[in-house]
Amino acid sequence: MQFPAAQIALLVNGKTEGDPTVMVHSFGKIEEAREGQLSFLANPKYEEFLYSTKASVIIVNEDYILRQPVTATLIRVRDAYSAFATLLSRYQEIKQQSLTGVQQPVFIAPTARYGQNVFIGAFAYLGENVTVGNNSKIYPNAFLGDNVTVGDNCIIHPGVKIYNDCRIGNQVIIHAGTIIGSDGFGFAPQADGSFKKVPQIGNVVIEDNVEIGSNTTIDRATIGSTLIKSGAKLDNLIQVAHNVEIGHSTVIAAQAGISGSTKIGKGVMIGGQAGIVGHIQLGDGSKVNAQSGVSKSVEPGKAVTGSPAYDYTAALRSQAVSRKLPDLEKRINELEAIIKQLLAEKVS
């Protein structure tokens, strides 16, 4: 597929600067791009490559000021990174539009139903009463248990397992190896020291426009639903326990763990390897720094760090003081020496 710069500019609501007829056929990083490729400049650290790259078309911010001439055609947009992401999404959509039909062998239960322009890959399993919406892609080796619902325009990547009764909304992407709806970690201590399993009879509900990375696990609720609200983005290798609620447009980085029944608000940002205990609340817009251990609720808009996590600004001040401790020790020793000398002179 080839596209002229002028057409690309229309897609991202940009303006061309240079030859609008130049053609591109693929994407490339600005430091490595070749002739016929499209790239972008959003991070100032890569500015030097703008003047040496072989890329034919480069997307830049509309207010970017050139320091010297460039050979590439520029497309000026309000936000270069966002525009480039839009183009990548569109390119991916075009590639996937031709991917339709049911490969063989698969198992599709007699009561399962799927919509138009669906792709179901080889060795996929669709259980009883499964529903898959229009334009969705179910890749090979995916498992959809009984009564699972998958909405329109979803992508279920290879090896994803969605247990019975779970509901997936529209425009949801679930990456390879992720498990939705496995049993929550519920065990009742017994008098003899053993543990009795508590049946997990709830489900997982994932709303629209959610993306979940590879090898993430989201446990089904004991009763009710584990809920991932619309627009949330979860990275790879995340553990979400039973009855957790994750709010709209919240983002969670890799290897984070969220314990049972915790409620996470809207627009929350959680860094990688953070651990969050159960039965607490993270308010709207709050932030949890990477590797933090959150043991109590966090107020809306507040940022926390450390283990146990506490106020981010106070933590930075403590770190600044800690770095000065050797100098402070030296000054204290000097002051003690002066005091001893003064006392000795007074006695004499």
137 lies in the same domain as 281: yes
CA atoms within 13 A on the CB side of 233: 6
What confidence tens digit (pLDDT) does each residue in 113-140 have? Answer: 999 999 999 999 999 999 999 999 999 9
Give the domain range for residue 53. 3-97
User: Are 164 and 269 contained in the same domain?
Assistant: yes
Q: How many domains does the chain have?
A: 3
Percent of the chain past pLDDT 90, that is, above it, reads: 84
Q: Does 87 lie in the same domain as 70?
A: yes
**H/E element, 58:** strand 57-61
The whole-number pLDDT of residue 49 equals 96
Helix (H) or strand (E) holding 302: none
Question: Are 302 and 174 members of one domain?
Answer: yes
The CATH number linked to 8 is 3.40.1390.10
Instruction: Report pTM.
Output: 0.82
> In this structure, are residues 144 and 163 in contact, taking their beta carbons and an 8 Å threshold?
no
Is 151 in the same domain as 294?
Answer: yes
Higher pLDDT, 348 or 44: 44
Nearest to 214 by CA among 157, 169, 271, 170: 157
Quote the pLDDT of residue 22.
96
CA distance 103 to 96: 15
Higher-pLDDT residue of 13 and 321 is 13
| Residue 235 three-state SS | coil
For 162-189, what is the mean pLDDT? 97
Q: 274 near 295, Cβ under 8 Å?
A: no
Residue-wise pLDDT tens digits, 258-311: 999 999 999 999 999 999 999 999 999 999 999 999 999 999 999 999 988 868
Same domain, 308 and 329: no
Asked whether the predicted pLDDT for residue 221 surpasses 90, the reply is yes
Beta bridge partners of 288: 270, 304
Mean pLDDT value of segment 206-232 = 98
In a shared domain, residues 258 and 160 = yes
Flag whether pLDDT at 166 surpasses 80.
yes
Are 235 and 272 a contacting pair, CB within 8 Å?
A: yes
Tell me, yes or no, whether 157 and 17 share the same domain: no
pLDDT bracket for residue 326 (50, 70, 90)? confident
303 and 342, same structural domain? no
Q: Which residues are catalytic?
A: 242
* Judgement on whether residues 125 and 270 belong to the same structural domain of the protein: yes
Distance between CA atoms of residues 84 and 81, nearest Å:
5
